[in-house]
Structure 1
Amino acid sequence: MDLVVITLPWFSKNLKSNTFFQRIFGSFSKEKLTPFQFHLKELLGYTPNDWEIYERALRHKSLFSKKGENNERLEFLGDSILDSIVAEYLFDTYPKRSEGFLTKMRSKIVSRKTLNELATRMELRELVQAAPEIKGDRTSLYGNALEALVGAIYRDQGYERTKEYVLKHILEKHLDLESLQTIESDYKSRLLEWGQKERIEVSFSIEELPQTTKGEYRFKAALTVGELHTASAIGTSKKRAEQQAAQIIWQEMFNK
């Protein structure tokens, strides 16, 4: 039986044209990623199983109006997942602090202001797809996208992997808990506590306003404190509108 010897030059010359060798060695070639996928993989630290769900998580409805194409549903899911992870994180971090302290800290962490700052530090802004006019003036855009990203990770990787990512790559890496403790941002709770202590009625009412031409939801909160102070504010959610109205009254009463 004759022995056939394949020399190295022949091997190199015919590797690209031979389908057998392509099947054998194709798995060693580099991934072909779009610029978006490349930056997303860098941000996540792993290769997603489902690229599409991450792309959807970073699409704002100003460009993708259909519900299945934008990030609103994933934002809803991510909000709940993030609340759960943050609650457990604070529970473990502050074993001797009260329920009231933990609740206030969680509110500060998941506030739009903090989430927007975290999204900026993570350089998530570069990946969000939205109309130019929205990117310029919508303060909650990037915080909402961060929540949607958490929702996408949960759907793609499961709860434990999501928890690991949020703790390692978001909270522990980008969040300053000590500075956050000194920030008083929950004006509604502070006002309600003050009213209860002073036996002065504090009441809120909410009115849903027509959507804007860009499809944004709006709510108007009216706040009355006793018989002397009233304020109203408009926000993109009921909670935000109430907080803004409470902030107006609080600063009027105590920051003169």
Structure 2
Amino acid sequence: MANRRSKSIKEIKKQQIINNKKLEEEYINQYEGLTFGTAAKRNLAASVANGPQEKLIESLTKISHVRLDRENIEHIDNLEMLGPVTNLYLQKNMIQRIENLESLSHLRFLVLSGNKIEKVENLRSIKSLMFLDLSENLIVHLDIDELPHSLIILNMSGNECTKENNYRPNTIKSLRNLKQLDNVEISKQEKQNVGIEVSSSDEEETEDEELQVYVGNLQLSGDSNDLFQTSTEIIQRSKDRMKGYNIQHDAVLDELETFRSQSELGMNTTRAGANSAY
């Protein structure tokens, strides 16, 4: 009797373990839309990705840079399990819609190039977004109102919408913080042509911010060629600007020194004249 009871308890415990494992699997599987498991494997250490589920989930809620490029992803979803994401790389997948990004309130850098997106949508709510790459998609018409005004760099190259009449001036006029469009820097003249007032101090402040963010993201993008080129250009402009400041500074010092020398010469001449008069 005791043996039967002992055996029964063991069987119950065994079944409980099996049920718990099934619940864990179901919990994980429900996040496989944007591949919860893939997110872990791509962005966490192997020991964490293959370790206890509690530790895995805890780690995913802390990552800020998420790489999910080239994973044949068709839908953007389940991002609420990640957090506080600032950089999201989804290039070269099978994504058809921009959606379910509302939970990423800190997102600044979004790469969606090389997908099957036909429409720009659901991005206005991301007020912190500064860099957006939607190149090489299937976008025929660009609804500029769907883009956040915080954008500094926008890449729509390789889409039919770039061939629309007045595409570039209209985009520049609507997105007043934009510094670069389709890998081409926006000139001061272009901004003035669409009625945007530009001061040199505004340009310098924005370029400094670009430089800090771009350098921080350069090594994290799967397709680094465009990023490298842009980052190099920004760095070079910053160096040129500093070089210009130094030249101006040296020129001012030279002028002051010349003025000082001339003043001293003039004073000495005056004194010599006064002494000779006596």
TM-score using structure 2 length: 0.26
TM-score using structure 1 length: 0.28
Q: Going by fraction, where is helix more abundant, 1 or 2?
A: 1
Higher relative contact order (Cα pairs below 8 Å, separated by 6+ residues): 1
